[in-house]
Amino acid sequence: MKTILMKTTHLALVVLLFCSFSYAQDKEITILITNAKIFNGVSEKLIEGSDILIENNLIIKIAPNIKKPKGASVIDAEGHVLTPGLIDSHTHIMWNDDIEYLVYGSAHEYTGVLAAVAAEQMLMRGFTAIRDMGGPSIGLQKAIDDGVAKGPRIFSSGYFISQTSGHGDFNKQLNYQSPYFTNHVDPLYTRGWTLIADGVPEIKKAVRENLRQGVTQIKIMGSGSITGAHDPIDVTEYTLEEMKAIVKEAEKWGTYATVHAYSDESIQNAINAGVKSVEHGLFASAETFEMMKKNNVIFSTQFLSYSLKPEDIGMTGETAKKYLIAQDAAEGGYKRSKELKLKMALGTDLLGDIKLKELQMQELVARTKYYTNAEILMQATSINGELLALSGERSPYKEGALGIIKEGAYADLLILKENPLENIEILTKTENLLVIMKDGKIYKNNLDE
């Protein structure tokens, strides 16, 4: 009898604990932010005299003198600047070492551990969302969304879609077992990095398999590259017909395709095929930039990456030579895109050693030669938010808008010690990030210090 009573009591305790946990999970969290100067992501002028009311993960009201709801927590911004969380439009969150080692040499778990560390570091630098431009990041995205790991929201491209000998073909061996003529399975595929596809039928299957994984957009390797194992930087990859097949398959799923492209021909092919953004794009001609403008294509290039010395980012030999070619073309591309007022995304594309990602905030500073502080902040917030929204129904985050402070937007917010509109370099020092909030949850609050 005593044993039965003990078991019954134990069961009741488990049920009680479960119910308490469920209640805690379902309980609404309300936060009122007062006394902030608001940069909303779209206006160069700070908004003063308005409070922000947050329920759970969304901004529900912005107005002067909001009455504190019962049970709400209050964050007094003390006159500091409030901005949307920053967004990086071009990251490789899983790429934190030499790519050949990650694919062919390391234990798969090593890649995941490095990525989890990099993700938390990004969040603590103020990046609350990223667009991952290739790599096995879907598992990390789920771990972050489930609260198992800390990091930004991840819009994952999953596998690179690459032709044989294209930018996604990272196997340096020249005498290797092709997966198309043997039973060999390349770790590029099994480890989630690249789907090699040639010709329209293969391409359709590759894109569909990627979409099956749950990606938010499709990344096309459309030209030669700096870090590729086999492709000179001037090479055009994929035909217009092949590109159209990729774009069409993405559109059927309510999302879009973006393209890695340097050569002018590859960029034109991609635009004619219907891509929504161009990555890098530095060799584009004036005519091609006009095409981007006419077709409302967002330009996602990098400024910091092409202003460094090859040895500073671990590049040697042929890779360093290709990097210098891209660097020579960079300024012309920047000037043309600025003159045409193209929509410019902010992405970093820092890959290789995990320590290189510590330079992420320097991307904002590198743009000051061409853009005002306000323009750069808009690129890192509302323009990048517009880019992420192109994923449509494939987006994992459809409740609210990103990169903007407005009613109905996600509560992804930063409170800054100093005003970045006056000096954007303040963002390079983490001590100037007083509050970091993502999805209504506070990850850092130094206002009381």
**What is the structure's pLDDT at 7?**
42
**What is the structure's pLDDT at 183?**
65
**Whole-prediction pTM:** 0.92
Q: φ, ψ for residue 219 (rounded to 5)?
A: -105, 120
Interatomic CA distance for residues 75 and 46, integer angstroms: 19
Is 413 within 8 Å of 70 (Cβ atoms)? Answer: no
**What is the structure's pLDDT at 410?**
98
**What is the structure's pLDDT at 19?**
42
Is 158 within 8 Å of 215 (Cβ atoms)? Answer: yes
Closest CA to 34 of 66, 72, 61: 66
* 8-67 residue pLDDT tens: 434 444 433 434 333 334 468 999 999 999 999 999 999 999 999 999 999 999 999 999
* Bridge-based pairing state of the strands 160-162 and 153-156: unpaired
CATH superfamily of 26-83+403-445: Urease, subunit C, domain 1 (2.30.40.10)
DSSP string, 73-131: EEEE-TT-EEEEPEEEEEE-TT--S-HHIIIIIS-HHHHHHHHHHHHHHHHHTTEEEEE
Q: φ, ψ for residue 410 (rounded to 5)?
A: -65, 145
**What is the structure's pLDDT at 22?**
37
**In the numeric block, which tokens belong to residue 333?**
């591309």
Which parts of the chain have pLDDT scores under 70? 1-27, 175-183, 449
**What is the structure's pLDDT at 117?**
98
**What is the structure's pLDDT at 178?**
66
**What is the structure's pLDDT at 10?**
45
How is the chain split into domains, by residue range? 26-83+403-445, 86-370
**What is the structure's pLDDT at 181?**
59
Is 77 within 8 Å of 33 (Cβ atoms)? Answer: yes
Is 370 within 8 Å of 332 (Cβ atoms)? Answer: no
Closest CA to 264 of 344, 329, 340: 329
CATH superfamily of 86-370: Metal-dependent hydrolases (3.20.20.140)
